[in-house]
Amino acid sequence: MEYQRNPAPFLGSAYYPEDWDDSELPGDIAKMKKAGMKAARIGEFAWRKMEPKEGSFHFTWLHEVVDRLKEAGISVILGTPTATPPIWFLRKHPDAAVMNSAGIRTSHGGRRHCCSNNEAYWEASASIIRAMAQEFGRDENVIGWQLDNEIYMPGAGCFCPTCVEKFHRFLEKKYGTIDALNARWNLNLFSQAYDCFDEIPAPANAWHNPHILLEWNLFQQESCISFLHMQQKIVREYTDAPIGTDMMPFAGLDYEKMNAPMDLVMFNHYNSEENLWEAGFWFDYLRGIKEMPFWNTETQTGWNASVSVGQVMKPEGFCRVNSWMPVAFGGAANLYWLWRQHWAGHELMHGSVLSAAGRPLHMFGEIRQTADEFEKAGDFLRGTRVFTEIAMHFTSLNWNLFECQPWIDGFRYYDRLASDFYRPLTQMGARVDIIGAQKSLEGYKVLISPYMMTLEDDTLPERIERWVKDGGIWIAGPMTDQRTGIGTHYTDRAMGMLERLTGARLAFSAPDRGRYIRAEWKDGTPFTGSLWFEMYDASQENTLVTITGMHSAVKGKSLVMSFPVGRGRIILLGTIPSAQDLVRILKAALEEAGVKLPRITGELAVIPRSGAAGSGLILVETGNKPASVDLEEPMTELLTGKTYLGHTELEPYSILVLKK
């Protein structure tokens, strides 16, 4: 449907007509058309204007906006306004407000301030959603529905009586009996054991164990997911347009589960020039969650802010490359937040396309250029998909486990995964699918699983084992397969499955920050690890890296090993390798798997694409520095018509769309 009404790829922007006098609408729309906008996101915070009094719905103004946009050839992504319930609702239902751990209710005045478990909030939300869906579900200019806005657990969660009661039932459903919970959480320790589920506190105001913290986080996230799934069911009754919910880069809320009934993934990011490469991590993750290409529903044009700015003006070319990235990485749309700067309110300093006075900002030309380039490359982009044979694990359960028991002081799961493994991979010229626990491993030749504290996530262990034995190469560790699904140590073995599959025995584990442990490759070359060391008993035949110095008990232990398993191989990492040492490990694995990478320099994202429209590469320079690539066959650049072959230099923030 989306491709019939509004061919991808397209640019768009968030627009808040409720902020403005009706007389401003024609001028705003005319400038949207001039900028090359194909879609506007509207409605997400306009509950009060749609329903000024309970049960009294006013949609005439919204119809006028949708119709005027249609006249200009601009489609609409309509947002449900459930993040901003009006004051009349809170006046009637003060107990619907989120309660913090101190027992204080959130006051009216922001957004996402109501409890996702509150029955009255559910009912009021369902009412406005149903009224909107009945009104606009068959409107041909509405090409998609965005549910709520950036939903996530509020701080440490909502501690209202409803949430606490539902938390008890959540635990009872999962563990069955209080004796089972006491046993699995080891609550004999500190005499913590409970006699019934209703005695279990919401985790606040005490030094709580990591298992109750984990379950509390999972319960809060499940509450958000249930709230969004309720909305999806209602909207689906009235439309066949794509439905999604715009999510932020916080994977504690399970993207796979959240998006299971949705049609596409929607995502908001605000990476700046210092960490633009990190946006690629999320795009590489989003791409595989649903079959339909994702929409990047929010990003900055130049800076993000509330009532003060902490950033600086971006270099020329940043807006263009930032706009291209989601589409190059497999998405179908990039939308800016926001179209016209708020003239008052919470975020009146946030960057935009137009100022509050309606004047184009300095990056307007880059936006128009991007829109024109999407047209030029449109057939290739629509007719190809990103292709890679490399995958790396990134799961919601492990995100939450590390939040509750970080393993090492200051260790942040996503930050370390992105910097320690993802970035070295991409600097080798690799494209990697970032995958969750539910993603099929079919088609991949190399799988990388660092920091997978637990593998006990549905059928993941069985699927990995079968994939390896069928010929896959699995690089596992460090800090992988050493906890149960609720974050406890194993007591009958050190690891869930890796010792059994490899025959290695985890002898010792210890922290070190470069002070004591020394190691070297088989050829005598020094090897550098960091933070955490897992030292194994393994045969020299299988050992790639050996510990050579520190305590006499660990000298000679294996640190990096390689084991044939079935028709495949497991490479076991016992520490966080330096980038140089990791590249050596990865090159050997990729060579064995028959995966060939282009030779590159710089912060160059290499994105192979293939499909009915042919095959080729999109190259995106993300570091604002010169880069290069060696091309082994001639390719035509679709934006300029030039042909490239051999060593190719790229200017800072270059984009090349190359077709064989």
Which residues are the active-site residues?
150, 298
Q: Any binding-site annotation on 130?
A: no
Residue 277 · residue 603 · CB < 8 Å:
yes
* 115 annotated binding-site participant: yes
Backbone angles phi, psi at 71, to 5 degrees: -60, -30
Angstrom CA distances, 20 to 50, 310, 340, 352, 471, stand at 15, 27, 10, 15, 61
Give the 3-state secondary structure percentages of the chain, helix then strand then coil, rounded to 5: 35, 25, 45
The values of phi and psi at residue 431, to 5°, are: -105, 135
As a whole number of angstroms, the distance between CA 471 and CA 156 comes to 43
The DSSP output letter for 613 is T
CA 99 to chain centre: 27
Contact residues for 576 (Cβ-Cβ < 8 A; gap 6+): 416, 420, 450, 478, 529, 530, 531, 532
CA distance 36 to 364: 10
As a whole number of angstroms, the distance between CA 230 and CA 262 comes to: 11
CA dihedral 336, 337, 343, 344 (to 10 degrees): 180
Which H or E element spans position 423?
Answer: helix 423-427
Separation CA 598–CA 431 (nearest Å): 10
From the list 324, 315, 316, 318, the residue with the least C-alpha distance to 370 is: 324
Find out whether 149 is annotated in a ligand binding site: yes
Please state, in angstroms and rounded to a whole number, the distance separating the CA atoms of residues 86 and 104: 20
If DSSP states are collapsed to H, E and C, what string results for 288-352? Answer: CCCCCCCEEEECCCCCCECCCECCCCCCCCHHHHHHHHHHHCCCCEEEECCCECCCCCCCCCCCC
Name the helix (H) or strand (E) containing 394.
Answer: none
Residue identified by tokens 């009958």 is 492
Is the omega angle on the peptide bond into residue 652 within 30 degrees of 0, that is, cis?
Answer: no
Rg of the chain, C-alpha, whole Å = 26
Phi, psi of 200 (to 5 degrees): -75, 125
Residue 163 annotated as part of some ligand binding site = yes
In angstroms, the CA 378 to CA 384 distance is 10
Cα gap 16→339, rounded to integer Å: 8
Enumerate the known binding-site residues: 111, 115, 149, 158, 160, 163
Enumerate the known binding-site residues for substrate: 111, 149
Enumerate the known binding-site residues for Zn(2+): 115, 158, 160, 163
